Amino acid sequence: MNLGGDISPSITKIILKEVGWHSQLNRTMSKNILNKKHAMVMGVVVNNSNLNGDRDNNGAPRVDAVTGLGEATDVCIKRFIRLFVETFGPDVKLYIKNDRPLNDKIAEAASEASGMTLDGLAEAIKKDRDAFLPTLQWLLERYWDLRAFGGVFAKLNRPIHGPVQFAISQSVLPVELKTISLSSQGITTRAQYDAGDKIMLGEKTVVRHGLYIVRGEISAVRAEKTGFTEEDKDLLLKAMIHGFDMAKSASRSDIRVCALYDFEYSDRLGLEVPTATLWDAVQVTPVPEVLNGTRPATCFGDYTVKLDEAVIPNSVTVHKLV
């Protein structure tokens, strides 16, 4: 195991291979394409907040029905990352953003890259799968989140798998939900006001406390296909650290990143150790008083975090970012 710092990007020219379609996507980049696999483990403390609401349960925090562990989907984690990238990314554009329909963005790309309408491109792809490549190249160069997470172009029936993927996150211990009643002096309608209703009542459900473990990886092989760069990776890691701060709200008032490990492999394939082994190398255990039920966990200090160095090969560099 090596302990290292940041890697400085260099200028390089690359040729991308879109393996899924057995075609070549030629691009000249002014940045260094990521050439090493990465695995990440992040600890997120949630206090009296709702990390990920369940739309099927009136927006209450997600909880595994069998284990009682709190959960957060990969979509949730990516949304927090996008919030940071949108705000602080230098000249960064996002594909998944509620600014206009996705088909409009694809149509713009088809027009700019191929001189086709969206319908015309769809017909061309039926005859030649590679007809999409100029449009795909334009989209990948323009949108950071497509390079990172990939996407599905439903109109064209063409997906692209991104290098950055997250597993479903779970809390270390079962979580306790609490419902808080709310009141407000703001009256919505004239009829309510005239009727003398001076207070509108509501409620919100939050997690009292939970330490969630977020696990992810970056595939250098897929990075070659989408053009995901070292700079893109650096922005991703910054977003993982600060993204929750960009989403402060009444129901997300106290969500904080308390640990972040970035495991950097020695090459693009990362065959020296499975990703899951590195994930498991970060061992999080509640302190004895919490384990024996003397008191509940209430903060990050109620856990011990240990790195099992024995399972980490010397070829893997560990960056402890938080």
Crossing angle of helices 118-127 and 102-114, in 10° steps, is 70
Confidence at 202, pLDDT banded by 50, 70, 90: confident
Which residue type sits at 208?
A: R
3-class secondary structure, 245: helix
Flag the least confident range among 122-136, 191-205, 209-223, 260-274.
Answer: 191-205
Q: Residue written as tokens 């650096």?
A: 234
The pTM (predicted TM-score) of the whole model is 0.88
Cβ(94)–Cβ(85) under 8 Å?
A: yes
pLDDT at residue 181, rounded to an integer: 87
pLDDT at residue 200, rounded to an integer: 65
pLDDT in tens, 95-118: 999 899 999 999 999 999 999 999
pLDDT over 60 at 21, yes or no: no
pLDDT in tens, 33-54: 999 999 999 999 999 999 999 9
CA-to-CA separations, 228 to 39, 110, 149, in angstroms, rounded? 15, 21, 10
Of the candidates 230, 209, 222, the one whose C-alpha atom is nearest the C-alpha of residue 295 is: 209
Per-residue pLDDT averaged across 205-233, rounded?
Answer: 97
DSSP string, 156-222: GTEEEE-SEEEPPEEEEEE--EEEEEEEES---SHHHHHTT---EEEEEEEEEEEEEEEEEEE-HHH
The CA-CA-CA angle for residues 44, 47, 52, to 5°, reads: 65
pLDDT at residue 90, rounded to an integer: 66
Q: Which residue has the higher pLDDT, 214 or 194?
A: 214
pLDDT in tens, 256-295: 999 999 999 999 999 999 999 999 999 999 999 999 999 9
pLDDT over 90 at 201, yes or no: no
Query: What single-letter DSSP state applies at residue 320?
Result: E
The two tokens of residue 228 are 């995901």
3-class secondary structure, 25: strand
pLDDT in tens, 69-101: 999 999 999 999 999 999 886 689 999 998 999
pLDDT at residue 186, rounded to an integer: 75
Confidence at 6, pLDDT banded by 50, 70, 90: very low
pLDDT at residue 15, rounded to an integer: 26
Any idea where the domains of the chain sit in the sequence? 2-320
pLDDT over 80 at 232, yes or no: yes
DSSP string, 50-114: -SSEEGGGTTEEPB-TTT-EEEE-HHHHHHHHHHHHHHHSTT-B-SS-TTS-HHHHHHHHHHHHH
For 306, the enclosing helix (H) or strand (E) is: strand 303-307
Tell me the pLDDT of the chain averaged across its residues. Answer: 89
Confidence at 57, pLDDT banded by 50, 70, 90: very high
Distance, in Å, from the CA atom of 276 to the CA atom of 37, rounded to the nearest integer, reads 13
pLDDT at residue 303, rounded to an integer: 98
Of the candidates 296, 85, 31, the one whose C-alpha atom is nearest the C-alpha of residue 172 is: 296
pLDDT over 70 at 214, yes or no: yes
pLDDT at residue 190, rounded to an integer: 83
* % of the chain residues with pLDDT over 70: 89
pLDDT in tens, 135-194: 999 999 999 999 999 999 988 989 999 999 999 999 999 999 999 988 777 777 888 777
Which residue type sits at 174?
A: P
The two tokens of residue 93 are 């554009």
